[in-house]
Structure formats: structure tokens, C-alpha cells
């Protein structure tokens, strides 16, 4: 799970840096956006739960990893642009991995089951939400219901499996694969919950 | 006061969901905006005061209540649109109730009187401020001085009455009614503090 | 250092209030923007570090000082407009002073050296970032790399000097003067790290 976490923050930092480049940010801004996206979800979760110290404060190397990933992504921007589908894939993996990691953190804090699932979804979603706030955009998650819903579904599946006695590592793996497949299917087939704005053009994340 | 709190978060969630609909949000976004507006003010107050656990973490049913209220409001949008004045009224009640509840939370934490009043105003105002950030709008509270000022006035009145020996329930009721009347009068007569931008068109909240 | 802190929050509150005036804010909004800019950096730092109670909660007079400064600046707007270069100067001093104060707060909390430097930069930069979020602008810091970089450099210099045995007051003074000079030089000569958006017009802060 720790390896998946590192892969997820690297992927998040890289894909977000590429987005930031289109908005005319400089190197510092790209690195900041990459680090905020990758570490922001866990930070919001920990502040809301009162779970101190924050992960990146006890492990500052996480910050360097995300900044390096964002910088490398920006430097390699041209060739990586052709790998867009790879990033969508790794981003989906990161979303689900963040959700399960967030569930584990909350589960250790003796809160109720709905809050555990919600903490997972916050971990998966809030990094991107902070990035959108910094970039002065309306958060994508408010328009893309099958981003947050996938995080909620993966967390619910994870908790339910553990509740019926499945061992933790198995439950993690099943929830990871299930959520990952759901997210990829949502992107590929452009699934959306019924929106109130039918005219709204549904951009793929 | 607990009943007023529940009524206030329901009203906030509903009125904000209606605003979100105009911006092309889907069901998930509407529910999120409703819950954030209703619970965000208290969350900001508790994080700033270091008052853990947060209310909605120890009472997750608050989240379900606000999500249900937002969803119901979205489903009933057409008929409810005619009830706009009802929502302005309940929103004013919610603002003042949040302010007084916020004062009570801070008062238990042994902070100075100005901070108690400020904590009340933060509870009343920050939910809407978070919503405006999520919707990528300049927060209304920065342009509508008689929204935050009403929360400050109600909190000051509440503390002052308790200071001169008035019993807490009586002080709550007087501050609630006084702040509520002040807010309704401000909306009806379009009171504004002198703005530096005279040309700025003053939309009613 | 305490005097410098007070001067810094007054200068920040004033210069930000002047910016807010151009956006048609009323008196309440100006005072809020002034106080948020001056106190927001330290607040974000303390929430992330779990360092409670927050400074302005144990010293509410800081809030009054910043609100008064913002109000005075707004009232004196015409004559002060000619003093723009004075504000750039005091703002640069405030940025560096905030960074060093932030380092000191974090250093008392037994965190690693990179986090101490980062806490200083957060203190210097996040107030302005919150202000930009409230005013619905893309944070300047994402486009102006030599704002945050100066805060990082001053904090690094400060820690490095203490590490090699320089006494704290001397280290503070050297880091303050060095960072201040670096920031003024960056403003005057319009230094920028190589931006990916060459066409982007680089406005001076």
C-alpha cells in the first residue's frame, strides 16, 4: 500500500503539473500545484479529523518527491503529452488508492463508519479541489459526479468487506481493483449521473 | 437551540442547493454545496479554535440531513422557486442561530470576549464563503456588509446580555429575535454601509 | 522581532486594503481582506502544524490592529496612492519578517529542518494567497516565483546561520536584511525564473 501511495502522489503531481502548464504558470507554480494536489487531500482529511502531525510534516521527503515529479513532468511535457491515456489510468489508480488509505487513517481514530468512508473520499478528491481553487477554476469534482462517487464506492466496498470478515490486504486489493475498473469505465463510456444542466458539455477529466 | 440548529442547517442546505442549480451543477455537486454551506461555518470555527472532534464527525447524521435537504430542494425546485421570500427569512434565522451557537462553543473554550463574538460570526458567515469559493465566485459577504455585521451584532448583544446577568435562554431568545429583525430590515430596506464603490450595483442576497 | 511583526501586519493590512478598494469592496470587506492577509499566513501555518491556540485567538488585539490599519489606509487612499513604493518596501520587509517568525514557531515544535523553512514560507505567502482566493483571483504567488522563493531563501539562510553557531538575533538580522535586499532587487530588476509561458506579461507585485 505504501508503494501504491508513492506511485499515486507521483502520478497526481505529474498530471496536475501538465494541467498547470496550460495556464501559464512558472516552474514554482507548477511544483506548488503538483505538491498541493498530491498531498492536499490527506492534509484536508487530517486537519478535519484533528490527526496530527500531518503526513508530509513527519515525512518531508514526500514534498520533495512531488516537487521533483512535477518538475520532471514539466520538462518532459512534449513527449508525455502523447501518454495522456497513461495519466488518466494512473490518476484513477491514485484516486482509489488515496480513498483506501484515507479510510485506514480514519478507521484508526475511532469514528463511525460513514465518516471513515467520507474521510477516504476527502483524501481522494480534496487535492484536486484545492488545485482548482488555486487555479481559480470551479472545482471539476462539482461537475464530475463519477469522480467522487468512485471514491465513496471504493471506500464503502473496502469497509463492507472487512465487516464481513475479509482480511485487510484482500479487502484493499478487491476495493482497489473494483474502484479502478469503475473509474476507467466511467471515463471510457462517459457515464454521468443525470445532471440538471443537460446542455452542459461533459468534458472528460 | 438544537431544533433551531437543525432547522438552520436544513434551510441553508436547501437555499444553497437552489443557487447551485443555476450554475449547472449535477446532483452530487448540489448535495456537496448544500452540505458545505450548512456545516462549513462550524467546521472553520472548530478548526481555528482547535475544537475537536468536529460536530459532523461525531454526529454524521448531520451530513445525511443536509444532503437530503439539498436533494429534496433540487427535486422540488420549480414550486420552491415561488417561495424565495421564505428562504430569505429562514436563511436570516439560520445566520443568527449559527452566530449564537458559535458564541456558545467558543465561550466553553476559555477565550476572550472579542474572540467569542468573532467565532459566532465565523460560524454564521464562513459556510457561505466556502460555497462561494467552491462555485468560483467572489464571496458575497465581502460585498454585503450587513450580513456579517448582523452576525457580529447578534453575538455582541448575546454576550452583553449575559454579562449584565440575563439568563442564557433569555439572552439567546433576545439576540435571536434582535438579529433576525435587523437582517430582515437590512434586506427589505436595502441598507448598506457606505461603500467605496458607489457605482457598484447592490444586489440583494 | 515583535515590533517588526506588528509593523509587518500593519503594512500588509494597509497595502491589501488599497488593493481591495479597486475591486469595489465596502468598508467591511476591506477590513476583512486586510486582517485575513495580515494574519492568514500564520493561521495556515498553525493549523497545519497543529500549533494551538492560534496567535490572534490568544491576542485578539492583533485583529483590531489590522482592521484599524486597513480602515485608515482606505480613508487615506488618495494621499497614500503616491506612496506605492513605500508599500512595496514595507511589504518586502513584512514578507521576510513573517518567514523568520514562522521558522521560529516551527523550530519550537520539533519538526525537521525542511519543514521549518517551509513553515516560514507558508507564513509569508499564505496570507496573500487567502486574499487572492477571497477576491476570486488566481493567486499571484503562482505567477511570481520570486515572492515565495525569497521567503524560502531567507528561512534557509536563517537556519543555516544558526546551524553553524551564529547567535539567534544576529541570524535573524542577517536573514532579514538579505531577504529584504533580494526581494527589492527582484522587484526593481523584474527578475523571474524562466517561465513556461514566455508570452505571459510579468506584472510587478
As a whole number, mean pLDDT of residues A154-160 equals 93
* C-alpha span between B91 and B184 (Å, rounded): 10
* C-alpha span between B49 and B109 (Å, rounded): 8
Among B145, B141, B104, B79, smallest CA distance to B5 is for B104
Residue at A104 is within a domain: yes
CB of C192 within 8 Å of a chain A CB? The answer is: yes
| Exposure class string for B139-148: b at 16+ Cβ within 10 A, else e | bebbbbbbbb
Q: What is the pLDDT of residue C23?
A: 64
Is the ipTM above a cut-off of 0.90? no
CB neighbourhood size of C10 (10 A): 21
Using alpha carbons, list the distances in angstroms from residue B135 to A69, A139, B37, C171.
Answer: 30, 7, 11, 45
pLDDT one-digit tens code per residue, C106-155: 988 888 999 999 999 999 888 888 887 777 776 766 666 577 888 899 99
The domain total for chain B is: 1
Q: What is the pLDDT of residue A43?
A: 93
A177: its cell numbers: 481493483
Q: What is the pLDDT of residue B129?
A: 84
Residue at C194 is within a domain: no
pLDDT one-digit tens code per residue, B19-66: 666 666 667 777 878 888 889 999 999 999 998 889 888 888 888 888
* C-alpha span between B5 and B97 (Å, rounded): 7
Q: What is the pLDDT of residue A75?
A: 76
Q: What is the pLDDT of residue A160?
A: 93
Angle, nearest 10°, between helix axes C61-75 and C2-21?
Answer: 40
- Using the predicted structure, report yes or no on whether residue B187 has a pLDDT greater than 70: yes
Q: What is the pLDDT of residue C156?
A: 94
Q: Chain C: give the shortest CA distance to residue A133, in Å.
A: 7
- Find all residues with CB under 8 Å of A109, minimum gap 6, and list them: A49, A51
**Which residues of chain C are within 8 Å of residue B148 when distances are taken between CB atoms?**
28, 32
Residue A193 gets which letter from DSSP? P
B162: its cell numbers: 449575559
C136, closest residue in chain A (CA to CA): A136
Residue at B195 is within a domain: no
How confident is the prediction for chain C on average, in pLDDT?
80
> Which residue range is the domain that position A116 belongs to?
2-189
- Helices assigned H by DSSP within C22-54: 27-49
Query: What percent of chain C has a predicted confidence (pLDDT) above 70?
Result: 80
pLDDT one-digit tens code per residue, A78-122: 666 666 677 777 778 888 888 998 998 898 888 899 999 999 999
Residue at B199 is within a domain: no
Residue at B201 is within a domain: no
C196: its cell numbers: 513556461
- Using the predicted structure, report yes or no on whether residue A28 has a pLDDT greater than 90: no
Task: Considering only the beta carbons, identify the residue of B136, B148, B197 that sits closest to C136.
Answer: B136
Mutate to test the interface with C, among A21, A27, A29, A44 (most CBs of C within 10 A): A29
Among C101, C94, C138, C132, smallest CA distance to C116 is for C101
A78: its cell numbers: 512534449
Confidence of residue C196 (pLDDT cuts 50, 70, 90): very low
Q: Which range among A8-22, A45-59, B41-55 shows the weakest confidence by mean pLDDT? A: A8-22
* C-alpha span between C112 and A53 (Å, rounded): 12
Task: Considering only the beta carbons, identify the residue of B30, B47, B53 that sits closest to A47.
Answer: B47
**Contact check, Cβ <8 Å, C194/A26:** yes
B179: its cell numbers: 438579529
CB of C196 within 8 Å of a chain B CB? The answer is: no
Bridge partners of residue B158, in order along the sequence: none
Q: Chain C: give the shortest CA distance to residue A132, in Å.
A: 10
CA within 13 Å, CB half, C1? 19
Mutate to test the interface with A, among B16, B22, B25, B26 (most CBs of A within 10 A): B26
- CB contacts under 8 A, C 162-191 vs B, are none
Total residue count of chain B as it appears in this document: 205
CB of B43 within 8 Å of a chain A CB? The answer is: yes
- Beta strands (DSSP E) in B6-105 are none
Among C120, C103, C118, C134, smallest CA distance to C37 is for C134
Do the beta carbons of residue B99 and residue B121 sit within 8 Å?
yes
C29: its cell numbers: 470587506
* C-alpha span between C134 and C73 (Å, rounded): 19
As a whole number, mean pLDDT of residues B75-87 equals 67
B199, closest residue in chain C (CA to CA): C24
Q: Which chains touch B (3 or more CB pairs under 8 A)?
A: A, C
B29: its cell numbers: 455537486
Residue at C200 is within a domain: no
- Using the predicted structure, report yes or no on whether residue B177 has a pLDDT greater than 50: yes
Q: What is the pLDDT of residue A12?
A: 75
- Alpha carbon of residue B2 to chain centroid: 15
Q: What is the pLDDT of residue A55?
A: 85
Using alpha carbons, list the distances in angstroms from residue A200 to B18, B29, C81.
Answer: 17, 14, 44
- Find all residues with CB under 8 Å of A145, minimum gap 6, and list them: A192, A193, A195, B26, B27, B28, B29
Do the beta carbons of residue A9 and residue A38 sit within 8 Å?
yes
Residue at C198 is within a domain: no
* C-alpha span between C134 and C18 (Å, rounded): 15
Mutate to test the interface with C, among A16, A28, A135 (most CBs of C within 10 A): A28
- Phi and psi angles of residue B30, each rounded to the nearest 5 degrees, phi first: -60, -45
Q: Which chains touch A (3 or more CB pairs under 8 A)?
A: B, C
- Phi and psi angles of residue C58, each rounded to the nearest 5 degrees, phi first: -85, -20
CB neighbourhood size of B184 (10 A): 15
**Contact check, Cβ <8 Å, A135/C145:** no
Do the beta carbons of residue C179 and residue C197 sit within 8 Å?
no
As a whole number, mean pLDDT of residues B135-144 equals 67
As a whole number, mean pLDDT of residues A165-190 equals 88
How confident is the prediction for chain A on average, in pLDDT?
79
Amino acid at each position: 500500500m505504501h508503494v501504491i501511495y508513492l506511485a499515486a502522489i507521483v502520478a497526481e503531481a505529474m498530471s496536475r503539473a501538465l494541467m498547470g502548464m496550460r495556464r501559464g504558470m512558472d516552474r514554482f507554480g507548477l511544483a506548488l500545484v503538483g505538491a498541493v494536489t498530491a498531498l492536499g487531500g490527506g492534509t484536508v482529511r487530517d486537519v478535519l479529523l484533528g490527526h496530527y502531525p500531518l503526513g508530509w510534516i513527519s515525512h518531508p521527503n514526500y514534498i520533495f518527491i512531488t516537487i521533483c515529479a512535477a518538475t520532471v513532468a514539466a520538462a518532459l511535457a512534449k513527449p508525455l503529452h502523447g501518454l495522456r491515456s497513461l495519466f488518466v489510468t494512473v490518476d484513477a489508480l491514485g484516486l482509489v488508492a488515496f480513498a483506501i488509505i484515507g479510510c485506514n487513517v480514519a478507521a484508526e481514530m475511532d469514528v463511525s463508519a460513514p465518516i471513515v468512508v467520507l474521510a477516504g473520499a476527502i483524501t481522494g478528491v480534496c487535492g484536486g479541489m484545492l488545485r482548482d481553487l488555486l487555479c481559480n477554476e470551479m472545482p471539476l469534482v462539482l461537475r464530475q459526479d463519477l469522480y467522487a462517487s468512485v471514491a465513496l464506492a471504493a471506500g464503502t466496498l473496502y469497509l463492507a468487506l472487512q465487516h464481513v470478515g475479509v482480511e485487510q490486504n484482500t479487502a484493499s486489493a478487491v476495493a482497489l481493483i473494483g474502484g479502478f475498473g469503475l473509474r476507467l469505465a466511467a471515463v471510457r463510456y462517459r457515464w454521468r449521473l443525470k445532471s440538471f444542466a443537460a446542455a452542459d458539455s461533459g468534458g472528460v477529466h
